Structure 1
Amino acid sequence: MQQAQETLKKYWNYDTFRAPQDKIIQSVLEGKDTFALMPTGGGKSLCFQVPAMMQEGLCLVVSPLIALMKDQVANLEKRNIKALALTGSLSVDDISNLLDNAKFGGYKFLYLSPERLQADWIVDRIKDLPINLVAVDEAHCVSQWGHDFRPAYLKISALKKHLPKVPFIALTASATQRVQQDIVTQLGLEHPNVFKKSFARENIAYMVFEAEDKLYRMQQMLTKNPGPSIIYVRNRRACHDVSAQLQALGYTATFYHGGLKEKEKEANMQLWLSNKAQAMVATNAFGMGIDKPDVKTVIHIQLPENLENYYQEAGRAGRNGEKAFAVLLVNPSDIKATQSQFIEVLPDKKFLGEVYSKLNAFLQIAYGEGMGETYPFNFNDFCHKYSFPAVKAFNALQFLDRQGVLTLSKEFSEKVSVQFIIPSKEVIRYISLNPADEEAVLTILRNYTGIFEMETGVNTAMVAKKAKTNEAAIIAMLEKMEQKGVIALRKTGNDSSILFNEIREDSHTINRIAKFLTQQNDIKVRQFESVVHYAVDTTRCKSRLILEYFDEKPEEDCGICSYCIAKKSTPKSPVETATAILELLKEGELSSRHIEDKLGLTPQETIFAINLLLQNGRITINSYNEYIVL
C-alpha cells in the first residue's frame, strides 16, 4: 500500500488512511468487485479516487446528486486532477464533445447521473472509453427497499456486460442489511468484497430534549458550547428567521439554503468556515462536501424525515474526534406537523393517475404521443387549474420523474420573483405615499420574511386573495414598484419544463409503476415511525436506538446521550424541588425559565413542582407570566 499512501499524500496531503479505506482500496486494486458501507464522514470518495489515480485510464462515477458531482469535480480540479461531469440540460453535441474529451483529453474522472445510462448512444460511447473502475455512489438508490429508490439505477448492471473486466465499487453511507443484499444483487456484483464501518460515533452525544421555547434552548447550547454549530431547519424562510433571531440575541449567525445565489452561498459559507459566524442555520441543502472537523454542535429544531438523513446530518459534528453534540429539540406538536409535511402529502395511486392524466391534458398531449418532446410548464398554473394541493402534486410529479416516465427540469421557481431593494423604513414611507397599495404590500411582507435579503418567489394569486383584489392588480402594482426603484422584479412565463420519456398511455403507465409507489409510501411511513420512536422513547440509549436501526447490535449503552446522562443523575424529589422554588421566590417574582436556570432543573422538574405549588395555593402567577409567593 506504499504507492497508495504516496498518492494520498501527493494529491490530498494526508499521511494515512482511515480504516477501512486501505482495505477497500486494496480490494479495488486487485480488480475485485467491492461493496463499501461507510457512514458519513468516513471518506468514501477516496476509496475510488485513490485507486483510479494509481492506474491508467478513467474512473466512471455514477451519482444521482448534481450538487455533489459538481462539488467533487471542483475539489478534484483544485488538486490538479482532470475531471468532468455530464450535468444539467446539455445538448447531444455538448455531451458528445465532453465524451470526446474524456477519451482523448487525459481525464481521470467522468461523473454522470444514472439517467444518462438510459440513452443507448451514451452507453455505446462509454464502452469505448479507457475505463479502469466504475464507482456507484449513493448505491442505496438501486434498492427498492432503500429510502431513495431510483429505477434508473437498475440500468447500471448492464454496464457489467459491456465492461466485464472492470471492477465495480458500490458505496453508500446508509443501508440496512436488507438494502445491502439488494444492492449486491441489483448491480450484479460478482463475489464482492464487503466492507462495513460501524455506525457508532463514540464522541457524539445524541441528545433529545423536549422544548416549548426552542430558541431559548438553542441560546443555552450555543452559550455552553461556543464552537462552530449547524442548526437544521425545515424551510428557507426559517433560515432567515432563526438566523436573525440569533443575531438579535448577540450570536454570530449566517444561513444557507438552495434559494441563495452562488455568491451568497459562498460568502455565507466562508463566514462559517473561517469561524466568523458561530452558527450556520440551514436546510438540508447544506452539507454535501462539507468537512469542517471542529463542528461542536448540530441542532435539529424539527423532526427529520428519516433516520438515514438525521444520522448523516448529525454526523457532521465532531469529525476531529473530540466530543460533540447532536441535539434534537421536540415538542408535542412536532409529530403532527411532521406527519402533515411528509406523510399526508404522499400521493396514492388514484391521485398519481389524476395528476398524470391532467398533466397530459394541460400540455395537450394526445394518447400514444409525447415521447421525446419537451414542454414548457408552469407548476402554479397547473395546480391552480385543477385544484391540486401543491406539495402533493409536486411529490406525484417527482415520483413520475424518478420512475423515468418524465424528466422535470431541476429547478422550480415561482412565476413572479421579488426583492425589496430599499430599507424597510423607506417601504413604510412608500406605503404612506401610496395608501391604495398598503394591504397588498403588507401581505407580501408578512408572508415572505426574507424578501429584503434575497430574490423571493411570490404567489401573486395568494397575495391577491388576502389583499381582497385580483392578480392583475398585484402584477400592475409590482411593475409600478419596480419602476419606482422599490423592488427588483423578475417575471417568467413558465417556471419549468418537462421532457416525456415515454408515450402517453394513462392507466397502463400508472398500473405499471403503482407497486413502486405503494412500496415507497410504506417505506416512508415506517421511516417516519422510526423517527418518532427515536424522539419519544425515554427508556433506551439514543445511540443504541440509531445503531439498532442500522442492524447493529451494541452490547452497551453509550454513556453520554440524553438518556444515559438522565439515568446517571439522581432525580430531585418534587417536594425538595418545590421547597427550593419557594425559597427562591421569596427573593422576588421569577418566570419558570429563570427558576429552571437558577436551580439547575430540567423543564419537566420545574413544571411539575410549579404545578404542585399552584395546586396547593402556595404561589400564583402574574400578568407577566412570573410566579409570586402567596
Structure 2
Amino acid sequence: MSKALEILKLYWKHDSFRPLQEDIINSVIEGKDTFALMPTGGGKSICFQIPAMINDGLCLVISPLVALMKDQVQNLQNKGIKAIALTGGINENEIIELLDNCQYGNYKFLYISPERLQSDWILERIKNLPLNLIAIDEAHCVSQWGHDFRPAYLKINQLKEYFPSIPFLALTATATQRVQNDIIEKLELNDCQIFSKSFARENLAYMVFEVEDKIYLAQQILKKNPESSIIYVTNRKSCIDISNQLDNLGFTSTYYHGGLTPKDKENHMKLWMNEKVQVMVATNAFGMGIDKANVKTIIHLHLPSNLENYYQEAGRAGRNGDKSFAVLLANPSDLIHAESQFIYVLPDKDFLNLVFNKLCNFLRIAYGEGINEQFNFNFHQFCIQYDLPSLKTYNALQFLDNQGIITFNQEFSEKITIQFLISSKELIRYISLNSNDEEIILTILRTYPGIYDLQTNFNLKLISKKSNSSEEKVLRLLEKLKEKNIIELISKKNDSIITFNEVREDERTINRVTKSLEQINSLKIQQLKSVIEYATNNKECKNKTLLAYFGETVEQDCGICSYCINKETHKKDNSNLITKIIEFLKKDDLSSREIQKNTKSKEDDVIFALQTLMEEDIITIKPNNLYSLKKK
C-alpha cells in the first residue's frame, strides 16, 4: 500500500482516491509544479493535504476564503493534525506567536490570504519557515480573465524567488483554457504538470424553464424535493423578500448576503447546515468554501453574471452522488433585468474618475497622500451624499480594488465611542445602587482611564472578554447608561473597510488603468452573452452547452437535462408523425414544406421529427434539399 493511501485511510477514513487525486499527489511528491482543475466537490484539498503529511515540513496554503480556511483548519485539528490560519482580526503579537509555532512547533499547515503576503515583515518570517509545498487555492483569482480576479494573487510568484525548489500546486474549480494558461504564466509554474477533470456531473440535471410565475414553480420544485436547497438571487432585498414568501407558503428558510453582520451570517448558516431550515435564499456571497453533501436542489431565480459563477453555484448540489437538480428559472424580462444589473452599471473612465475623486474627498485624503491609510466606510452613506447610483459605484470600487489602487473589504463593523458625563463620585453612587453593572463599568474605567475627558473608541469584544460578559449584555448596559444620561454613546455602523494602497493622484491614477477597464468591461459583456445563450438555446443539451463553454466536447447528450427530457417527450408525442413521414418518403423524396403540407402538422413538430430521423440515420437530405429514405 502506498504511503499516500495509508494516510488517506488513517486520517480521512477513505479506502480509495477519487479520479485524478492520486496522480496530482504523486506529481507534487515528485517536486513538480502542478496545475489541477477539479470541479466543485472534486476533493481538491486532499491533493495538497496528503503530500504535506508525507513530507517533512510545513505546507503554506494561500486562500482568499476566510470561511474555507477556518473550516479546513478546524477539520485538520479534529483529526489531530496541527494547522493554523492567519485570518483577519488577529493583532501583530498574535501573528508573531502563530508564526513562531509554525517555525518551531511541528505544524503541518499554515493558511494565509494573498493580501497577508503583501506585508513585508510577514513575508520575511515566511521566508524562514521549513516549507515543503505551496498550495494556491482558487487559483483563477490570479487571472483578470477569470470571474473573481484579486490583484494580491499577482504577488504570489515572488515566493518562487525564496523557495525555488519547493513545488507549487495551483487549484481551481472553474477555468476556461484562456484562464488556465494565464494562471500558469502569472504564477510562473515551471514545466507544469496539468491535470484536468471533466466538468461533467453525471448526477446533476441542469434544468432551464421559461415561466412567468417563478415563485409558484419554485414552490412546486421544493415540495417535490423536500431536501436541503439553495435559491440564488442577485440582490439583498430579494433575499429577504423571497425568504419571507417561502415562510408564508409553509417552507422553512433563512437568507444570506454580504450586508449581514458576521454573527448573523454564522447564525443563518448554522440553521441551514444543521437542517433547521430547508432553504437558504442567498446572493453569490454565499457558498464559497461551504461543503454540504446532501443539497438536492439549486434554484436560480435571476440570471447569473457569468457561467463560471453559475457552474460553481449549481455544483453545490449532489455532492453525495445522489441525483440532484440545478434549475434556472427565466422569462423574457430577465434579459432586460440582467443587462441593467450587469452591463448598464459597468463604469466607464469618466465615472471611475468621478468615484475616485469623491471617495478621496469623502475620506478627506489630500492630493499626494493616503498610501497605507485605512478607513471605516459606509457605502450607502457615500452614495447618498454624492447622489451616486449604487450598483455602478459598487462596480467602480470593485474595479479599483481589483487593480490594487484600494483594498475594499466588505465586512460589517460598528464603531462605538463613549464618554462619561457624570463625575466619578456620582458614578460610584450609581454602582453602589446597581451592583449587577459593577463589573462591566469597572472594566471600562480600568481599560480607558481618560474616558471622563473625551470621546473614547470602545472595543466591545475586549470589554466583553475582560468582564466575563456577553457582548449583548455590555451593549444593553451602554444603552441603559445612555438613557440615564450617564454616558454619551455614539454608534456608527459601517459595511466595509477601505485601505489606500497608493497615493492620491486623481486622473493620473485612473489613466493608468483605463485599458484594463475597457478589457474587463468587454469580458463581462461576453460572459453575459454566454449566460443568455445557455438560458435561451432550446436546440442543444444543457450539459453540452456548459461543457463547451469550458472547452470540453462530448458526443452524447446527458439524457437528464430539461432539453433532453423535452426531447424524449417530444419524440414520444411525435411517434405517429414520424411513421407518417416514413410512409410518404417511401413513395417519393420531399421537401420539409411538402412534408408539412402532406402530414398537416405544425412546422416545429415536422422539424423536430426530421431531426430525429436524421440522428437515427433513417433519412438523409440530398443536395437539392429534399429528404429521402436511406437505403438499407
Question: Which TM-score band (shorter chain)?
Answer: 0.7 to 0.9
Q: After superposition, what is the alpha-carbon deviation per residue over 1:93-152, rounded to whole angstroms, capped at 9, x for unaligned?
A: 443333222212322111222222223332222110011100011111112222222232
Q: Please give the residue correspondences for 1:79-98 in structure 2 after superposition, counting only pairs within 5 Å.
A: 79-98=79-98
Letter in 2 for 1:277: V
Q: What is residue 342 of structure 1 aligned with on the other side?
A: 342
Q: Please give the residue correspondences for 1:307-326 in structure 2 after superposition, counting only pairs within 5 Å.
A: 307-326=307-326
Q: What is residue 199 of structure 2 aligned with on the other side?
A: 199
| Cα distance in 2 between the residues matched to 1:363 and 1:324 | 48
- Please tell me whether residue 546 in structure 1 is matched to residue 551 in structure 2: no
Q: What is residue 555 of structure 1 aligned with on the other side?
A: 555
| CA distance 1:56–1:265, shift in 2 (3 Å) | same
Letter in 1 for 2:169: I
| Cα distance in 1 between the residues matched to 2:104 and 2:415 | 43
SS of 1:103's equivalent? helix
Q: What is residue 585 of structure 1 aligned with on the other side?
A: none
SS of 1:84's equivalent? strand
| CA distance 1:360–1:265, shift in 2 (3 Å) | closer
| Cα distance in 2 between the residues matched to 1:89 and 1:193 | 37
CA-CA distance at 1:169 after TM superposition? 0.3
Q: After superposition, what is the alpha-carbon deviation per residue over 1:214-239, rounded to whole angstroms, capped at 9, x for unaligned?
A: 12111221222333322222333333
- Please tell me whether residue 121 in structure 1 is matched to residue 121 in structure 2: yes
CA-CA distance at 1:81 after TM superposition? 2.1
Letter in 2 for 1:535: A
| Cα distance in 2 between the residues matched to 1:261 and 1:353 | 31
Q: What is residue 58 of structure 2 aligned with on the other side?
A: 58
| CA distance 1:316–1:348, shift in 2 (3 Å) | same
Identity across aligned pairs (percent)?
63
| CA distance 1:122–1:312, shift in 2 (3 Å) | same
| CA distance 1:405–1:96, shift in 2 (3 Å) | farther
SS of 2:513's equivalent? helix
Worse-superposed segment, 17-26 or 234-243: 234-243
- Please tell me whether residue 233 in structure 1 is matched to residue 223 in structure 2: no
Q: Is the 8 A contact 2:411 2:497 kept in 1?
A: no
Q: What is residue 531 of structure 2 aligned with on the other side?
A: 531
SS of 1:570's equivalent? helix
Letter in 1 for 2:364: Q
Letter in 1 for 2:174: S
**Number of aligned positions between the proteins:** 510
Q: After superposition, what is the alpha-carbon deviation per residue over 1:366-405, rounded to whole angstroms, capped at 9, x for unaligned?
A: 3222222234444334323322212222221222122221
Q: After superposition, what is the alpha-carbon deviation per residue over 1:449-507, rounded to whole angstroms, capped at 9, x for unaligned?
A: xxxxxxxxxxxxxxxxxxxxxxxxxxxxxx99x979xxxx9940655443222112222
| Cα distance in 1 between the residues matched to 2:175 and 2:85 | 26
Letter in 2 for 1:563: Y
- Please tell me whether residue 385 in structure 1 is matched to residue 385 in structure 2: yes
| Cα distance in 2 between the residues matched to 1:79 and 1:285 | 29
| Cα distance in 2 between the residues matched to 1:409 and 1:320 | 34
SS of 1:85's equivalent? strand
| CA distance 1:71–1:259, shift in 2 (3 Å) | farther
Q: After superposition, what is the alpha-carbon deviation per residue over 1:67-94, rounded to whole angstroms, capped at 9, x for unaligned?
A: 3222222222222222222222544444
Worse-superposed segment, 226-235 or 524-533: 226-235
Q: Is the 8 A contact 2:233 2:300 kept in 1?
A: yes
| Cα distance in 2 between the residues matched to 1:164 and 1:325 | 45
Q: What is residue 394 of structure 2 aligned with on the other side?
A: 394
CA-CA distance at 1:412 after TM superposition? 4.8
Q: After superposition, what is the alpha-carbon deviation per residue over 1:533-556, rounded to whole angstroms, capped at 9, x for unaligned?
A: 111111111000000000001112
Q: Is the 8 A contact 2:412 2:494 kept in 1?
A: no
Name the TM-score, length of structure 2 as normaliser: 0.75
- Please tell me whether residue 359 in structure 1 is matched to residue 359 in structure 2: yes
CA-CA distance at 1:46 after TM superposition? 1.0
CA-CA distance at 1:559 after TM superposition? 1.3
| Cα distance in 2 between the residues matched to 1:286 and 1:494 | 20
| CA distance 1:378–1:34, shift in 2 (3 Å) | same
Q: What is residue 501 of structure 1 aligned with on the other side?
A: 501
Q: What is residue 295 of structure 1 aligned with on the other side?
A: 295
| Cα distance in 2 between the residues matched to 1:135 and 1:187 | 11
Letter in 1 for 2:543: S
Letter in 2 for 1:319: R
Letter in 2 for 1:329: L
| Cα distance in 1 between the residues matched to 2:315 and 2:114 | 27
Q: Please give the residue correspondences for 1:407-556 in structure 2 after superposition, counting only pairs within 5 Å.
A: 407-412=407-412, 491-492=491-492, 496-556=496-556
SS of 1:326's equivalent? strand
Q: After superposition, what is the alpha-carbon deviation per residue over 1:401-438, rounded to whole angstroms, capped at 9, x for unaligned?
A: 2222122343256999xxxxxxxxxxxxxxxxxxxxxx
C-alpha RMSD of the superposition: 2.9
| CA distance 1:66–1:343, shift in 2 (3 Å) | farther
Unaligned runs of 5+ in 2: 417-478, 577-603, 606-632
SS of 2:512's equivalent? helix
| Cα distance in 2 between the residues matched to 1:274 and 1:374 | 37
Q: What is residue 181 of structure 2 aligned with on the other side?
A: 181
| CA distance 1:502–1:545, shift in 2 (3 Å) | same
Q: Is the 8 A contact 2:65 2:289 kept in 1?
A: no
CA-CA distance at 1:264 after TM superposition? 5.0
Q: Is the 8 A contact 1:380 1:414 kept in 2?
A: no
Q: After superposition, what is the alpha-carbon deviation per residue over 1:10-60, rounded to whole angstroms, capped at 9, x for unaligned?
A: 222222210111110111111111100000000111111111122211111
| Cα distance in 2 between the residues matched to 1:92 and 1:252 | 43
| Cα distance in 2 between the residues matched to 1:407 and 1:271 | 32
SS of 1:492's equivalent? strand
Q: Is the 8 A contact 1:35 1:195 kept in 2?
A: yes
Worse-superposed segment, 292-301 or 304-313: 292-301
- Please tell me whether residue 172 in structure 1 is matched to residue 137 in structure 2: no
| Cα distance in 2 between the residues matched to 1:380 and 1:70 | 30
| CA distance 1:535–1:493, shift in 2 (3 Å) | closer
| Cα distance in 1 between the residues matched to 2:179 and 2:40 | 17
Q: Is the 8 A contact 1:370 1:503 kept in 2?
A: yes
Q: Is the 8 A contact 1:317 1:324 kept in 2?
A: yes
Q: What is residue 445 of structure 1 aligned with on the other side?
A: none
Name the TM-score, length of structure 1 as normaliser: 0.75
Letter in 1 for 2:80: N
Q: What is residue 212 of structure 2 aligned with on the other side?
A: 212
Q: What is residue 448 of structure 1 aligned with on the other side?
A: none
Q: Is the 8 A contact 1:415 1:495 kept in 2?
A: no
| Cα distance in 2 between the residues matched to 1:268 and 1:363 | 33
SS of 1:134's equivalent? strand
Q: Is the 8 A contact 1:152 1:403 kept in 2?
A: no
Which of structures 1 and 2 has the bigger CA Rg?
A: 2
Q: Is the 8 A contact 1:378 1:415 kept in 2?
A: no
Letter in 1 for 2:222: L
Letter in 1 for 2:536: V
Q: Is the 8 A contact 1:137 1:171 kept in 2?
A: yes
| Cα distance in 1 between the residues matched to 2:71 and 2:364 | 39
Q: Is the 8 A contact 1:202 1:558 kept in 2?
A: yes
Unaligned runs of 5+ in 1: 417-478, 577-603, 606-630
CA-CA distance at 1:173 after TM superposition? 0.5
Q: What is residue 70 of structure 2 aligned with on the other side?
A: 70
CA-CA distance at 1:359 after TM superposition? 2.1
SS of 2:554's equivalent? coil
Worse-superposed segment, 30-39 or 275-284: 275-284
SS of 1:35's equivalent? strand
CA-CA distance at 1:571 after TM superposition? 7.6
- Please tell me whether residue 133 in structure 1 is matched to residue 140 in structure 2: no
| Cα distance in 1 between the residues matched to 2:413 and 2:394 | 13
